Amino acid sequence: MIIDCYTHTWENAGQLGRCVPTDYHTTPRAEEQPVPAGADTGAHWSATEPAGATIVLGFASKYLQARIPNDHVAAYVGEHPDRLIGFAGIDPSQPKEACEEARRACHELSMRGLAVAPAAQDFHPASSQAMVVYAQAAELGLPMIFHTGVHICTAVKLEYAQPILLDEVAREFPALKIIIAHMGFPWVNETALLLGKHENVFAETSWLLNEPWQAYQALLTAHQFGVMNKLLFGSGFPNASAAQCIEELYGIHHLVHGTNLPMIPREQLRGIVERDTLKLLDITLPASQL
């Protein structure tokens, strides 16, 4: 079963705060603007259809005045519980509120993981405040997706996006399931080292697959480091659909045909698409989908 482990959906541009595209900073107010980039739930449902299950992420950033509400994500997931899985967006820069929201998301909203974005939330990934939040996630048994956040807007702080900063987190919480979004781009080598070092650190492939040359180099790095088995499939909707990304992944070698550049074994590419991500993250679906 194909698992798409990185997608977003939102209701209006106002929920994106300072992440909103420049042309939405106009009148009428952003929250009255139509949903940009076809990110509504209808478009999401259609675009993720090839996947047997899809993770939908919330997002929260006090720093960027952005919030894709967890209640919105949970309500949408609740309409399709056999195919959708909600991950709550929490903001570790506000540790007390983040821990409370993690507990609420788990116990009241039936969400199955957490999503954070240090560079977009203005916090060091291994800060003392953030460690309190990770301890809560570990206690609840919730996997965490870390978004590098480098493409969101100019306000993001790249010094907090570097995957190597998660090494301390993985050492402190070895049982915590950590997923590094977009293979940590542009720090792909750092990500590959972490995948090889820590049993419960994984990476997903969204965004990269829209840039074939970058994707080829990143996947080749993972192959040469021997960590292809730690890569999870993600589309990054609304940036791309699951079908588009699967096609790009299987066609990645068109760039190097007729050259002496190395190729990645096709069975390893297929492994990304067909990987049992839910088992790796200790997530179960209703019995009808198992």
User: Which residue would you say has higher pLDDT here, 200 or 155?
Assistant: 200
At position 284, the amino acid (one-letter code) is: T
Q: In terms of DSSP bridges, do strands 66-68 and 59-61 run parallel, antiparallel, or are they unpaired?
A: antiparallel
Please tell me the predicted confidence (pLDDT) of residue 23: 46
Average pLDDT, the chain: 91
Please tell me the predicted confidence (pLDDT) of residue 51: 84
In Å, how far from its chain's centre is CA 244?
Answer: 17
- 261 touches 228 (CB < 8 A): no
207: alpha, beta or left? (left if phi > 0; alpha if psi -120 to 50): left
Please tell me the predicted confidence (pLDDT) of residue 152: 73
- Summarised one tens digit per residue, pLDDT across range 196-247 is 999 999 999 999 988 899 999 999 999 999 999 999 999 999 989 999 999 9
Q: How far apart are CA 232 and CA 183, in angstroms?
A: 9
Please tell me the predicted confidence (pLDDT) of residue 9: 94
Q: Among candidates 181, 183, 196, which has minimal Cα distance to 87?
A: 181
Classify the C-alpha dihedral 233-238-242-246 as positive or negative. Answer: negative
pLDDT band for position 14 (cuts 50, 70, 90): confident
pTM for the predicted model, two decimal places: 0.92
Q: Which residue segments constitute the domains of the chain, with CATH numbers given?
A: 3-289 (3.20.20.140)
Calculate the alpha carbon distances from 77 to 13, 125, 169, 238, 241 in Å. Answer: 20, 28, 29, 16, 18
